[in-house]
Every structure is written in C-alpha cells, then in structure tokens.
DNA sequence: TGAAAACCTGACGTTGACGTCAGGGTCGGT
DNA sequence: ACCGACCCTGACGTCAACGTCAGGTTTTCA
C-alpha cells in the first residue's frame, strides 16, 4: 500500500523532537495507553510516522479542546475501533451485527466530540465578537485622543 | 448611571455559588490579583455584580482559550487599563500623550489576544472539518453494512 | 571491539489550581 | 447580649502532567 514511504523508525529522542514534546511525555502517553510504539529486541522504543501523527493529534485534543489524557484516551479508542473495523471489514469471522454495533458506537463517540467542538466554536465566536467590540471602542478612544491633540 | 441596580453585595459563599466556582477559587483569584472585592470593616469580602462578571470572564479565558491565571492576569490588567483611561478621560491631570500611550498599549494587548483567538478558531475549524470527514466515512461504512445485510 | 550516545526503568520532585481542615473572628436576627 | 451561620487566615494535601535524576542496558559507529 504505502509505496514511497521509507518507513524510517525514530528513537524516542528524535521522535520527541519531531513531535515537539518531551521524551518523558512520550513514555507517559504510552503508560496511559495513548500510544504503543514498536520496540527493538532490546526494548528500545521505535516510533513510526503514524505514531508522530498520533502524538500531534493528542496535543491538538489537549490544547484545542482542553481534554485531559483520560478523555483523549476515549477518543483515541473510538478512532482505533473504526480502524479496526475497517481492517476486519471483509473478514468473514466478524458478524455483520457486531460490526454494525461497533460502527454505531464509534459514530456516537465522534458525534459527541463533534458537538463539543461545535459548542466550543460557537463560544469562541461569541468571545471574538465581544473582543472586537472592545477593540473598536478602544480604537475610538484613540481616535478621539488624536483628534483632541490635533484640534 | 446605573439606576435600576440595587447593587446588592454578596458574601463569598453566595458569590461562589452564583459564579459556579468554589470559595477557595475566589480567594485564590484575589491572591493572584485577578479580583479585588470590597471588604467590610471586619474584613469580610463583599462581591458586586461586576466582580461576578469578572469571574465569569476569568473562567471563559481559562476554559475557552486555555490561558493560565498569569496570562489571564495580563489580559485583565489590560482591560482595567482601558477602564481607567476611560474614567480619567476628561481628567485634566492626565496628559494626552500618556493617555495615548496607555490606550495604545491596551490596544496592542487586545490585538494579540484577538490573534490568539482567531488562530484557535481556525484550528478548531480545521479540526471540525477533519472530524466531519471521519464521521461521513463512518456513516458510509454503516450504510454499506446496512446495504450488505439487506442484499 | 570498545566507548560514546541514546535509551531503559523506577522513583521522587515540581507546578498550577485549587481542596480541606484547624482555630478563631464577624454578622444578622432575636 | 448571644448564638448560629458565615467568614477569616494560614498551612498542609491533592491531582494531572509531566521534570529530573540515578544506576544500569542497548545501539551505533569509528
């Protein structure tokens, strides 16, 4: 499938640098089950591009939505579910009913998340409008001051 | 100016309840200089409606923008500056140059904040688009499953 | 092959934003 | 004047999300 990707694995140091987080954070995420990098036979962690993307996703959920790591774990689990289902999509061993159930479940989780994001977006818009109003008032004050000094 | 407002002062308990935060939080905000309620001669805190609004604002900056209390303090100081200037606007003792300086300063702080909010909004929009894409894919999967079972 | 660089697992420390508790002061109604 | 409700100031506790350090292991590369 992925043809051009050299699939170079990174050590935890390089991975941390790439992802813009600390090594400790990467180990911590793994400890909480948010991330499961490969290991060498010697037990050293090896990170793929997908792992880095996952870290970026984690950070986004953290800083953008303000979710804590437990909540993020839930979101990631839901996303993993979807991937899992996609993978097993044509696997005959998975019953259609079961698949439907799983899909519905992850759809529900995503919908919930979407609602959260929407709410946050609306609140942000309100805040922005308020801020703009303040700013324009301050600008007016400044204009008046300038007119004053000019008059 | 404010005619209809009875200007009833609240004790810290009632204020906390109204604002939806703990008493400890109110004392903590005051300790950090975010809030400066009046006091009775005996030293008990008394909160005005403006104080409550300020708390709401603090919470908004916390949960919506993810600012820490130090950053919030900076924002609030900027806003207080504006109010101060407005109040002293026709006070002859304040020099025009000084006023311009102050106004410019708070304008800068607000502009910075606005940029932050904008950035966050854009990021949220991206995130939302991504989420919608995921959701529609999951929906498709579900539709296929239903078609499968129907066929 | 051998040493420097990178990494490992505990385990304790830190920071922000409060929670909680003790021991005492203040307020409002009677 | 008094009592119960409310409030005060320390001061220590807590929780998440890591930071940091020690002592040992694995990789890498000259």
Residue A107 in this model has a pLDDT that exceeds 90 = no
| Interchain pair A103, B145: CB under 8 A | yes
Task: Specify the pLDDT at position A17.
Answer: 97
CA–CA separation, A103 vs A85, rounded Å? 7
CB B141, CB A85: distance < 8 Å: yes
Residue A73 in this model has a pLDDT that exceeds 60 = yes
Name the band, by pLDDT with cuts 50, 70 and 90, for residue B102: confident
- A129 and chain B in contact, CB less than 8 A: no
Task: Specify the pLDDT at position B109.
Answer: 80
- pTM for this one? 0.87
Question: What does the DSSP 8-state code read for residue B39?
Answer: E
- A87 and chain B in contact, CB less than 8 A: no
- Please, which residues have CB within 8 angstroms of residue B74's CB and are 6 or more apart in sequence? B109
- B142 and chain A in contact, CB less than 8 A: yes
Instruction: Tell which strand D nucleotides have any atom below 7 Å from a protein Cβ.
Output: 6-9, 16-20, 25-27
Task: Specify the pLDDT at position A2.
Answer: 40
Nearest by CB to residue A134, choosing from B110, B120, B142, is B110
Task: Specify the pLDDT at position B15.
Answer: 98
Residue A130 in this model has a pLDDT that exceeds 50 = yes
3-state SS record for A63-95: HCCCCCHHHHHHHHHHHHHHHHHHHCCCCCCCC
Averaged pLDDT score across all residues of chain B: 88
Q: Show residues of chain A in contact with B107, CB under 8 Å.
A: 135, 138-139, 142
Task: Specify the pLDDT at position B2.
Answer: 41
In chain B, the percentage of residues whose pLDDT exceeds 90 is 60
| Interchain pair A149, B100: CB under 8 A | yes
pLDDT digits (tens, 9 = 90+) for B40-98: 999 999 999 999 999 999 999 999 999 999 999 999 998 888 788 777 766 666 677 77
């Amino acid at each position: 499938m992925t043809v051009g990707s050299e699939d170079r694995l990174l050590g935890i140091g390089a991975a941390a640098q790439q992802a813009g987080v600390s090594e400790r954070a990467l180990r911590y995420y793994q400890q909480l089950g948010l991330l499961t990098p490969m290991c060498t036979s010697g037990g050293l962690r090896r990170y793929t591009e997908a792992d880095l993307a996952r870290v970026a996703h984690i950070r986004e959920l953290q800083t953008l939505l303000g979710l804590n790591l437990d909540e993020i774990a839930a979101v990631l689990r839901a996303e993993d579910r979807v991937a899992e289902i996609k993978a097993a999509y044509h696997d005959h061993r998975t019953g259609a009913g079961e698949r439907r159930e799983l899909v519905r479940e992850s759809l529900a989780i995503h919908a919930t998340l979407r609602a959260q994001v929407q709410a946050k977006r609306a609140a942000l818009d309100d805040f922005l409008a308020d801020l703009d109003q303040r700013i324009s008032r301050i600008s007016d004050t400044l204009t008046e001051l300038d007119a004053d000094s000019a008059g």
